[in-house]
Amino acid sequence: MSTENQIIELEKSLLTFDVRHSEAELRKRIAPNFKEIGASGAYFGLENILERLPTEQTWSAIVQDFEFTQHSEEICQLVFRVFIKGSDTDEGTYSLRSSLWQMFDGEWKVIFHQGTKVEPFKLAP
């Protein structure tokens, strides 16, 4: 599997309940020094993620329009768009997101993520 496909699959996995509800799976994909600037503007690290994600109940995401860049053998960036609904009554949030991935002992882990709210975009079929 190409590095691009690996990173896209890892990113998508972070949007699944199986991974989001498992501390062990999150730790496999997220570096200990991870930092995030959320679409809300909040700034936090791995421990905040481990506290928050496993408690999510109703949440869904549509992810699309991946742009992959390999900056070095050990650093990759993925830019993409996401539509997220927190509940059935939530109208949803559109965002542009960027993740930096770094190789640690043969495994890719996300080291930084930022989400920025954007105007609604057409969702892929």
List, for residues 27-50, the tens digit of each pLDDT value.
999 999 999 998 888 999 999 999
Spelled out in words, what is the top-level CATH class assigned to the domain 3-117? alpha beta
Per-residue pLDDT band for 118 (boundaries 50, 70, 90) equals very high
How many residues are given for the chain?
Answer: 125
Where are the domains positioned within the chain?
3-117
Burial 85-104 (b: 16+ CB within 10 A, else e): eeeeeeeebbbbbbbbbbee
Max distance between CA atoms of the chain, in angstroms, equals 43
pTM (predicted TM-score) = 0.92
Q: Are 63 and 15 in contact (CB under 8 A)?
A: yes
